[in-house]
Structure 1
Amino acid sequence: MSFKPTSVPDLYGDQNNTNGTECPEDNWEWLHTSQPVYTLLISVLGIVFNVFVLMVFCLHKKACTVAEIYLSNLAAADLVLVSCLPFWAVNVSNGFNWTFGLFMCKVVNLGIKMNVYCSIYFLVLISIDRYVALVHTMSHGRMRRPKYAKLGCLLMWGFGLLMSIPTLVFREEEYFPDFGVNACFLKYPNQTVALLCDGMLIVFGFIIPILIISFCTVKIIQALKIQAVERFSAEKTEQKATTLMMVVLLAFLICWVPFHIVTILDVLLRADVLRGCHLTNVLEICNQIFSYLGFFNSVLNPILYVIVGKNFRKKVWELFKQWSIKRTTASESTRSHLSSTLKTVL
């Protein structure tokens, strides 16, 4: 036997798995070789891209709109995730031998779990914002204010932290002498607590936000159709923001829905509603593939901002011009100062 906790960080499931079940052991050697490389690649690209997005939103001379406040917080949540993944890449490459201590064991996985909750709820806020802007156009001026958007984001960060408390409580570092590894894993006290925590993830991290997003999306599409029939054109800024929101939302669903489906099936399997070694092995493999597909979303979002977001590209161009003017002004000031200094000396 080999120590085989799931190589995916704290997303779901009891990772205290030493393969003590009746199912035959699969070969997981491919995880130790290919997965760390993929994880580090996601981390590097994600850090560079999301830092770039945050710089554009934060350093631009114009204040962020409500939609941009939500997108910047989404980029911050993605940055938290990709900053934590290198620790797990090292852990997998070491054969799940955790070398960073108990504190980092809890904090790294806390950051990853917070992204799962915060990212989808920032999309909920974006969906509600588009819904108010296009469906309730008469009242959106009062409701869509930057201070309310910032307060909403702060509440979502707090909610993500609250829902991630089980990670702080149940994440443990323990040495397994039979396998020679010091593992960082989820150690639930019993199966009931494990199923409860997984159920919270399914309900609050998937079902509820997806229902809200779906309602807003349907209403937005209906409003756009009515505007097209009546030949009424909304503000171009609102249309561009809505297009970007739809694309970002679609990318999120493509990347994360498979993971949540596997989560539901895994809970049913551990609750003995579903059974079978073949299903167990399939879900473990799908767990790896779909979890890292979800992590790729943190790299994809900044790319979508550039490709689809016309206003974002405009901000980038204006920011580059702003920096160029500052450099030119600073250079001219330096030359003028040197010239006056030389005249004084001579």
Structure 2
Amino acid sequence: MDDFNWTNLLMNFTNDDDDADVCENLTSCGLACNLEESMSFETVYIPVIYSLALLVGLLGNGLLLGVLGQRNHNWSVTDTFILHLGVADSLLLVTLPFWATQATAAGWVFGTPFCKVAGALFTINFYCGIFLLACISMDRYLSIVHATHMYSRRKPRLVQASCLSVWLLSLLLSVPDWVFLKALENDRRDNRVVCVHDYPLLSQGNVDWRLASRLLYHTVGFLLPSAILIFCYSSILLRLHQGPHGFQKQRAVRVILALVVVFFVCWTPYNVTLLVETLHSHNDTMAHTCLNKTSMDKAMVVTSCLAYLHCSLNPVLYAFVGVKFRHQLLNMLRSLGCKVATTARFQSTGSSRRSSTWSESGNTSNSVAI
């Protein structure tokens, strides 16, 4: 969890050689006040935000998966990717209560084996989510801009193989969690046990594992996928602007584009903060003062919580932007005995919309998310 969870903050006090070069002990550096203030802030802020993300996210993703289940596996290519995205988001959210518990006075009470499992589960589903968004954007880019179909409903195995490859790659990227995550007692945090990466010190080897982990996350987990998303959707918007392509296509792009915009709004602040902290800890770009330490800790906590809320927002976007998702959600609720009132215009949405010839690859006009 070093690069994705608030426990990364603990590494600044437990496993950094930089602080040792600045001062000889914690008191002389003035870090005692920082640690106490940061702990108080985390104890209040993290459990509240994580609980909110868990409740909203599990409810929203549960409804999303329920709507997809109502279609009896008659999914478009986009729906298949969204199904996997919903599963990844839900599994990531399931880990949040454990990290919220660690933020309290109880600390990490689940032991080292579960520390590795929870950390790896978080990492796997984080990477899976961003890679799936990249897959969706690449499919949309090829079908709209180049009229080339990467996927076809007549070839579902190719879609499933892509999803399987995403999961396997994400599993591979979680190897550092399986190796380095441990439940350790931290005397600087009132002897609390915390789940953190226990990387070897530089003096014990030639590889700075902590820096390597950071660089891997910055490149593979954010910069590269972000470049793909920006390129694909910039090209799509430019193509749509150049000529008429029908309401169906524009509506579909609006939904998926909303997912990408929300992704950047949620994850960019955390990545910028993490990059600043990385540069600071390895290049001394910022003075090691009490104020700077405390400000950085709080910024990491706030921006990471905002990032994790992203997993709760995807279903909300479908509900507010995706017309067909709302229509099928209400149909599902009515089938369960819920009394739901709809306008005549909304009731006619399902019957008035017909599949367009936009993209055989995704048959996006039939997507539950549109």
Q: TM-score, normalised by structure 1?
A: 0.82
Q: Choose which of 131, 140, 143 in structure 1 pairs with 2:149.
A: 140
Aligned residue number for residue 285 of structure 1 = 298
Q: Secondary structure in 2 aligned to 1:271?
A: helix
Tell me: CA distance 1:45–1:205, structure 2 relative to 1, closer, same or farther (3 Å).
Answer: same
2:180 counterpart residue number? 170
Residue of 227, 235, 243 corresponding to 1:219:
235
Q: Superposition pairs for residues 1-346 of structure 1, below 5 Å?
A: 9=5, 12=8, 15=11, 17-18=13-14, 22-24=29-31, 25-26=33-34, 27-28=37-38, 29-61=40-72, 63-95=74-106, 97-137=107-147, 139-140=148-149, 145-176=155-186, 179-190=190-201, 192-227=208-243, 232-234=244-246, 236-277=247-288, 278-320=291-333
SS of the aligned residue for 2:283 comes to: coil
How much does 1:240 deviate? 2.4
Deviates more, 1:310-319 or 1:11-20: 11-20
Q: Which of these two proteins has the greater Rg computed from alpha carbons?
A: 1
Deviations 1:230-250 (A, max 9, x none): xx324x443322110000110
Q: Which runs of 5+ in 2 are unaligned?
A: 20-24, 203-207, 338-370
Cα distance between partner residues in 2 of 1:286 and 1:99: 26
Change in CA separation of 1:48 and 1:218 when aligned onto 2, cut-off 3 Å: same
Alpha-carbon distance in structure 1 between the residues aligned to 2:135 and 2:271: 20
**Structure 1: distance between partners of 2:150 and 2:272:** 38
In the alignment, the residues of structure 1 paired with residue 271 and residue 150 of structure 2 have an alpha-carbon distance, to the nearest angstrom, of 36
Q: Closer, same or farther in 2 for the Cα pair 1:263/1:80, shift >3 Å? A: same
Residue 62 of structure 1 and its aligned partner are, at CA, apart by: 5.7
**1:309, distance to aligned residue in structure 2 (A):** 0.8
1:43 maps to a residue whose letter is L
What is the count of residue pairs matched by the alignment?
Answer: 313
Measured at CA, do residues 16 and 61 of structure 1 come closer, stay the same or move farther in structure 2, by a change above 3 Å? same
CA contact (8 A) 1:12 1:198 kept: no
Counterpart-to-counterpart distance in 2, 1:323 and 1:181: 47
Amino acid at match of 2:114: M
Distance 1:10 1:121, change over 3 A: farther
Task: Read off the aligned partner of 2:128 and give its amino acid letter.
Answer: C
TM-score (norm 2): 0.77
SS of match in other structure, 1:184: strand
- Counterpart in the other structure of 2:345: none
Q: Distance in 1 between matches of 2:311 and 2:30?
A: 35
Deviation readout 1:278-318 (Å, 9 max, x if unpaired): 44433221110100000111111111010001121233234
Equivalent residue of 1:174, what SS?
strand
Given the superposition, is the C-alpha separation of residues 141 and 286 from structure 1 closer, same or farther in structure 2, using an over 3 Å criterion? closer
Higher relative contact order (CA 8 A, sep 6+): 2
Q: Structure 2 CA distance, aligned partners of 1:132 and 1:35?
A: 41
Say whether the 8 Å CA contact 1:8–1:288 is kept in structure 2: no
3-state SS, counterpart of residue 61 of structure 1: coil
Q: Deviations over 1:124-181 (max 9, x none)?
A: 01111211221122x3276675432222111111111111111111101123457332
Where has structure 1 moved over 4 Å in runs of 4 or more? 5-8, 10-14, 18-21, 141-145, 320-324
CA RMSD in angstroms comes to 2.6
Q: Deviations over 1:212-245 (max 9, x none)?
A: 1111011101110112xxxx324x4433221100
Question: What SS does the corresponding residue of 1:175 show, helix, strand or coil?
Answer: strand
Match of 2:362 in 1: none
Tell which deviates more after alignment, 281-290 or 247-256.
281-290
Instruction: Give the conservation status (yes or no) of the 8 Å contact 1:11–1:113.
Output: no
Letter in 1 for 2:301: Q
* Aligned-residue offset at 1:44: 1.8
User: 2:87 and 2:177 mapped to 1: Cα distance?
Assistant: 20
State whether residues 102 and 173 of structure 1, in contact with CA within 8 Å, keep that contact through their aligned partners in structure 2.
yes
Q: Say if 1:63 and 1:143 are closer, same or farther in 2 by CA, change over 3 A.
A: closer
Q: Do the aligned partners of residues 64 and 260 (structure 1) sit closer, same or farther apart at CA in structure 2, a change above 3 Å counting?
A: same
Structure 1 Cα separation of the partners of residues 3 and 282 of structure 2: 22
Distance verdict in 2 for CA 1:142–1:198, change over 3 Å? closer
Cα distance between partner residues in 2 of 1:94 and 1:88: 12
